[in-house]
Amino acid sequence: MTSGAAARADAALSDGSLRRLIAELIVVRASGHLSDGQRRYPRWELTNRDLQHLLQEGVGGVILLGGSAPELALRTRQLQTWAGRTLLLCADVEEGVGQRFEGASWLVPPLALGRLHGRAPQRALALAEAYGRCTARDARAVGLNWVLGPVCDVNNNPANPVINVRAWGEDPATAGALAAAFIRGLQAKGVLGCAKHFPGHGDTSGDSHLELPLLGHDRARLEAVELPPFRSAIAAGVAAVMTAHLSLPALDPQRPATLSPLVLTGLLRGELGFDGLVVTDALVMEAIAAHHGAGEATVLALEAGADLVLMPADAHAAITAIAAAVASGRLSRERLEASARRRRTALASLPEQGRTEADPWQATSPDLELGRELVVATLEARGRVRPLPAGDAGVNLIRVDQALHAPFLPATAPALSAAAAAGFRPCLLAGDTASLWSGDTEAPLHLERLAEGPVLVQLFVRGNPFRGHAADQEPWPAALRQLLRAGRLAGLAVYGSPYLWQQLLPVLPPEVPAAYSPGQMPLAQHAVLTALGVERSDRGGFTD
């Protein structure tokens, strides 16, 4: 910024009402924990001191991650108190609030219902709406008034490293119908929804957390596949739409969707007729941050037609840059006021409790029942693992993407505890440093490094932001064949990716027990291991 531009920005920021107007359009990241020392991601999560300062300046929203549900209820009250007015409080809770905040309902991922929709469409639609109601009840109980979902991307590319089971379907009709049902359930219970990632992140092989993915389809293809779920979400009255950090040359050969007036103003506002809140995906993601500074990215997003800016790399720099853009005439105050009105209209649509603070946290039994019903409805299983002779032991070979980021695998998780009770000792493969891989394409496992006995294989694999494909690229078909040749494969459990399950099932002879759940949480583990006969059905609070 030149000295003249800086002076104009300073002059604009001296106008207190303009500064608060600008700040209102910023959504910053914070930990759900109360203490600074508990922050999981200090790079992105503000300290309490900085957070309190920004909220008092007028910042309009906070996205939260981490902590238990009871702690989050205290945290959201704290944030509202610091702000002294109604905030937008949101989280990425695409699989229920318990996905991010322990103690709330953690549901199977949306793609599970997409698969169910193919064989039982009415049941899938009813469950998707119940999914939305459950998410809203838990969100309101912890003080969240905005859920950053549903994902409206069509996951028609099994190699997609970041969407995968987060999508509601693998075809436009399924994705649109189920996302709309979720929105109806969510918003009927007084929580704002957000359709993402516009205009469609499903058919990409890159992760926008790490790079700018390319979606090279022409407009006719976008109209046929990518856009219909967003049209369905808009027709269902979704409160907000989140942008995608994608390059779409057919729509704008110059700018990614998040920064494109052609995409946000021309297509979303003009052609699709959406008049709710438009929010960017996080601007700290490398798809944007690698090409633009915090201030410039924010201004470009607002110029393109976004109302709210999510997680600018530097909130203070973003506010200063917007003020400079107003001072120079690049952005008008009227433009910012229109976005602020949309934000206030969205908040005004909430019931009073959604605009004040959380009730004391209390889990509700209908949510637990829904979680069980979803797991049962989406479970696939065949055969039962043979009990080990008394005194014998086997190997519980578990693959997770990253051992330090596996909230579904506490010490009491059935994948560990039930298998141990059945005589299978744990052997954990995690990250990219697994020492059991031999490099032999026909015999990829160093079986001599495993303890003796039958092997129960449990694979926790799904698309994961920041980690790409993870175990998708490992030779599990060959590894299972190797275990079969050695007479050591006791059974297979797959949690998460349907694509890995579909790849591995044909490798197994019919007599080998196998089971799959789209969910990875302990409830799903219990169901899978019960179906395989490893876990007793009368343990873990689960009955089938």
The CA distance from 299 to 322, in Å, is 6
Buried b (16+ CB within 10 A) or exposed e, 402-425: eeeebebbeeebbbbbbbeebbbe
Told to judge if 316 belongs to the known catalytic residues of this protein, a careful annotator would answer no
Q: Kindly name the residue from 281, 307, 367, 401 that is annotated as catalytic.
A: 281
Q: Which amino acid is at 357?
A: E
Q: Pairing mode, if any, of strands 514-517 and 489-496?
A: parallel
**Reduced to 3 states, what is the DSSP secondary structure of residue 452?**
coil
CB-based contact 151:166 (threshold 8 Å):
yes
Note whether 376 and 407 are within 8 A (CB). no
- How do strand 380-382 and strand 514-517 relate by DSSP bridges? antiparallel
Contact 451, 154 (CB under 8 A): no
How far apart CA 13 and CA 325 sit, in angstroms, is 11
- Name the DSSP letter for residue 28: E
Edge to edge, what strands does the sheet with 380-382 contain? 380-382, 514-517, 489-496, 455-461, 394-400, 424-430
Dihedral of alpha carbons 282, 283, 284, 287, sign: positive
What distance separates the 2 farthest-apart alpha carbons in the chain? Answer: 82
Q: How far apart are the first and last CA of the chain?
A: 64
CA 328 to chain centre: 38
**Residue 216 CB: number of other CB atoms within 10 A?**
11
d(CA 97, CA 133): 12
Both tokens of 501, joined, read 């399950």
Residue holding tokens 């059945």?
Answer: 422
- Give me the catalytic one of 117, 201, 209, 245: 209
209 annotated active-site: yes
Tally of CA atoms within 13 A in the half-sphere of 134 that contains its CB: 30
- DSSP class of 358: P
Phi, psi dihedral angles at 464 (to 5 degrees): -135, 125
Active site members: 209, 281
